[in-house]
Structure 1
Amino acid sequence: MNSLRAAAAVAATAVSVSFAAPVAAYPVDCAILLCLAGGWPASAECAHARAVFIARITPWPVEPPLQIWNCPMRASLNREKAPMERLFEITLREGGEQLHESWGENPAELHLAQDQADVDISDPAYDFVRSIHVFQIEYRRHRNSDGDCNTWSTIREGTYGEQGEFAWTRSTPARVPSASAFRPGTSCSDYWFRGVFVDWTDYEGTYGFEEVRY
Structure 2
Amino acid sequence: MSLATPAAAYPVDCAILLCLAGGWPASAECAHACAVFIARITPWPVEPPLQIWNCPMRADFSRRTPVERLFDISFSPPSPPPLSLPALPFPAPIAVADQADIDISDPAYDFVRSIHVFQIEYARRRGKDGDCMTSSNIREGKYGEQGDFSWAHSSPARVPPASAFGPGTNCSTYAFRSVFVDWKDYEGTYGFEEVRY
What does 1:128-139 align with in structure 2 at a 5 Å threshold?
Answer: 128-139=111-122
Equivalent residue letter for 1:128: F
Aligned to 1:65: 49
Q: Distance in 1 between matches of 2:83 and 2:17?
A: 24
Match of 2:99 among 106, 109, 116: 116
Gaps of 5+ in 1: 1-20
Q: Is the 8 A contact 2:94 2:102 kept in 1?
A: no
| Residue identity opposite 2:187 in structure 1 | E
Q: Is the 8 A contact 1:121 1:164 kept in 2?
A: yes
For these two proteins, the number of residue pairs brought into alignment is 184
Structure with greater helix percent:
1
Amino acid corresponding to residue 42 of structure 2 in structure 1 = T
TM-score by length of 2: 0.87
Confirm or deny: 8 A CA contact 1:138 1:195 kept in the other structure. yes
Match of 2:12 in 1: 28
The alpha-carbon deviation at position 85 of structure 1 amounts to 3.0
Q: Which structure 2 residues correspond to residues 93-108 of structure 1 after superposition, within 5 A?
A: 93-94=76-77, 96=78, 99-100=79-80, 102=81
The one-character-per-residue Cα deviations of 1:154-191 (angstroms, maximum 9, x if unpaired) are 00000000110000000000000000000001100000
Mark the runs of 5 or more structure 2 residues left unpaired by the alignment.
Answer: 1-5, 85-92
**Equivalent residues in 2 for 1:157-196, closer than 5 Å:** 157-196=140-179
Q: Secondary structure at the match of 1:192?
A: strand
Per the TM alignment, residue 148 of structure 1 is displaced from its structure 2 partner at its CA by 1.1
Counterpart amino acid of residue 58 in structure 1: T
Aligned residues of 2:21 and 2:67 also touching (Cα < 8 A): no
TM-score (normalizing by structure 1): 0.80
Asked whether the equivalents of residues 178 and 195 of structure 2 are also in contact (C-alpha less than 8 Å), the reply is: yes
